[in-house]
Amino acid sequence: MKNARIVKDGLYEQVARMGKAVSSPKRLELIELLCQGEKTVERLARESSISMKLASAHLRELREAHLVDTRRDGKNIHYRLADSRVADFWVMLHSLAEDRLAELQVALKQIAASPEELVPSDRESLMKSARKGEVVVLDVRPVEEYLSAHLPFARSIPLEELQGRIAELPLDRPIVAYCRGPYCLLAKDAVDLLRGQGYEALHLRDGVAEWGLVSV
Amino acid sequence: MKNARIVKDGLYEQVARMGKAVSSPKRLELIELLCQGEKTVERLARESSISMKLASAHLRELREAHLVDTRRDGKNIHYRLADSRVADFWVMLHSLAEDRLAELQVALKQIAASPEELVPSDRESLMKSARKGEVVVLDVRPVEEYLSAHLPFARSIPLEELQGRIAELPLDRPIVAYCRGPYCLLAKDAVDLLRGQGYEALHLRDGVAEWGLVSV
DNA sequence: CAATCAATCCAGTAATTGTTAGAATGTACA
DNA sequence: TGTACATTCTAACAATTACTGGATTGATTG
């Protein structure tokens, strides 16, 4: 049956549409941003450092792969993940890449040296400490992202406001800062800032996507 | 910091290597074949209906993304998955695609009409029936694949030998046939053959990768 | 050692994709 | 109604990728 070949080719071709959607670095960055919550094209473009035209083109690809949906609100178009499984997929993709690619492991060290990052196995104990108030879990992303989803017990102080609001934080307990995930530099900057001011600050690698908390 | 942009770009670039590896239909088919066990280039090429040159080129991409490993044995080079997480990734990718892409759902109906396929929730009850011997679970893949990994209680009769060995199967109990996964046509053909000879035959969609049984 | 076989490497072409610039759409607001 | 703004669409070009044919490597076999 030559026909069987044609059927099979069609099936893999469809699955490959997903693969193609995640084969571009910029599209991955857009997906990670969308894991933090709904955003307009303009915001997505700005936060991923590309032009709006290019962002629009990439978002079109993602939409055609049905990985994202859009919603119009006045002049703006808001993009969001089509399904929370897309966030799970992003997490699996990047964690597989971190497992398999030595180059990526090396590059990640530039963001957070091993001793200062908490490993995933610390999750329960971190939450226990946070519940008891022994540590402060700090969300340094823009406030809209915090409102969309955040870690349990987390407090929101966006990095941009941190310098001005630093007095809100206690000096006698460790501050555990997190942001969008392992490739986001906000938490690193926050930790550097806090340490410079005498705080005991730690950098949590994972964000809401890695914790499985993304809401759509 | 412009430097931050460069670091981030590098990180997403690395993750995108994984995406690029799974952005081609043929590479996906090769991955699925490798989920069934180690294979030579020649076998991979034949089973995916492409030339050895092209198979070699695609396998090179997969190897450079560290998704597969190779082993030399005399004149032959055997490829295998680098990690069983690669199989999990393949399963997640295709099941996400099945969720999100209506076209794929439609195309899948050509292989197995809804009533004759067993859904994943039937797993435990299927295994219970298989243990008691109320149904026969039949692996119709080539025997090497069966030897590499197979479903619990499964019996091996490769599709090619099924016609000649059909008498080994009981007529008084349902036969549940499976093959490489949802995109493989072996089980469908087996079911058609069995039904034509008066057997009660069912087509199980999932293969060893979907059951999480892949060994590397 | 020559011959054979499996697999890869290399070069070239056709097709696809990323990116940018310019025109067009659709909504809000004066 | 006209203007401003966010976004998309179209067209174009450069860069990348898929595939093919011919030459090459490495291992086996006579």
Mean pLDDT of the region A129-158: 96
pLDDT at res. B122:
79
Pick from B28, B85, B110: CB nearest A96? B85
Residues contacting strand C at CB < 7 A? A 20, 23-24, 26-27, 50-51, 53-54, 57-58, 61, 72, 74-75; B 40-42, 52-53, 55-57, 59-60, 70, 75-78
pLDDT at A118 over 90: no
CA distance B168 to chain A (A): 27
Q: Cβ contacts (< 8 Å) between B17 and chain A: which residues? A: 97, 101
Beta strands A117-118; A201-204: pairing state: parallel
Largest CA distance in chain A: 73
Burial class (CB in 10 A: 0-12, 13-18, 19+), B53: exposed
Burial class (CB in 10 A: 0-12, 13-18, 19+), A201: buried
Token pair for A185: 């530099």
Residue that wins the pLDDT comparison between A124 and B2: A124
Q: Which nucleotide is nearest to B74 (CA to C1')?
A: D27
For residues B156 and B149, give the distance between their C-alpha atoms in angstroms, rounded to a whole number.
11
pLDDT at res. B140:
98
Q: Cβ contacts (< 8 Å) between A9 and chain B: which residues? A: 25
pLDDT at A35 over 60: yes
Pick from A21, A25, A100: CB nearest B13? A25
Q: Which of B83, B100, B112, B41 is nearest to B214 (CA)?
A: B83
Q: Which of A103, A171, A4 is nearest to B15 (CA)?
A: A103
Mutating which of B50, B100, B108 best tests the A interface, going by the most A Cβ atoms within 10 A?
B100
Q: How many CB pairs under 8 A join A and B?
A: 142
For residues A14 and B156, give the distance between their C-alpha atoms in angstroms, rounded to a whole number.
31
For residues B89 and B91, give the distance between their C-alpha atoms in angstroms, rounded to a whole number.
5
CA distance B74 to chain A (A): 28
Which of the four pLDDT bands, split at 50, 70 and 90, describes residue A183? very high
Q: Please tell me the pTM assigned to this model.
A: 0.94
pLDDT at A42 over 70: yes
Mean pLDDT of the region A137-146: 97
Under 8 Å between Cβ of A204 and A119: no
pLDDT at A120 over 60: no
pLDDT at res. A116:
60
Q: Which of B109, B163, B156, B121 is nearest to B136 (CA)?
A: B156
The dihedrals phi and psi of B212, each to the nearest 5 degrees, come to: 75, 30
C-alpha dihedral, B105 to B109 to B114 to B117, nearest 10°: -100
Which of the 8 DSSP states describes residue B122? G
Residue that wins the pLDDT comparison between B115 and A145: A145
Q: List, in sequence order, the alpha helices (H) in chain B.
A: 2-21, 25-35, 41-47, 52-64, 84-100, 102-109, 123-132, 143-148, 159-165, 186-196
Q: Does B88 touch chain A (CB under 8 A)?
A: yes
Q: Which residues pair with A73 in a beta bridge?
A: A76
Question: Which residue bears the tokens 């072996």?
Answer: B186
Q: Cβ contacts (< 8 Å) between A104 and chain B: which residues? A: 11, 14-15
Q: Which of residues 158-197 of A touch B (CB under 8 A)?
A: 182-183, 185
Q: Which of A133, A127, A107, A131 is nearest to A178 (CA)?
A: A127
Cα angle, residue B147 at apex, residues B200 and B124 outer, rounded to 5°: 50
End-to-end Cα, chain A, rounded Å: 44
Q: Specify which of A103-107, A154-158, B202-206 reaches the highest per-range mean pLDDT.
A: A154-158
Cβ pair B19:A15 closer than 8 A: no
pLDDT at A121 over 90: no
Q: What is the full DSSP assignment across B158-207?
A: -HHHHHHHGGGS-SSS-EEEE-SSTT--HHHHHHHHHHHTT--EEEE---
> Residues of chain A with pLDDT > 70: what percent?
94
Residues in chain B, pLDDT under 50: none
Cβ pair B18:A92 closer than 8 A: no
Q: Please report which helix (H) or strand (E) contains residue A174, including its range.
A: none
Token pair for B189: 């053909």
A122 CA to D21 C1', in Å? 57
Q: Which nucleotide is nearest to A58 (CA to C1')?
A: C18
Under 8 Å between Cβ of B29 and B48: yes
Cβ pair B26:A12 closer than 8 A: yes
pLDDT at A28 over 60: yes
Which of the four pLDDT bands, split at 50, 70 and 90, describes residue A110? confident
- The mean pLDDT of chain A is 93
Q: Which amino acid is at A121?
A: S
pLDDT at res. A2:
64
Token pair for B170: 């009981």
Q: Which nucleotide is nearest to A70 (CA to C1')?
A: D7
The active-site residue, picked from B21, B67, B176, B179, is: B179
A77-86, A97-106, A110-119: range with lowest mean pLDDT: A110-119
Three-state secondary-structure class, residue A133 = coil
Q: Which of residues 91-150 of A touch B (CB under 8 A)?
A: 92-94, 96-97, 99-101, 103-104, 107-108, 110-111
Contacts of A194 (CB under 8 A, 6+ apart): A162, A166, A169, A175, A177, A201
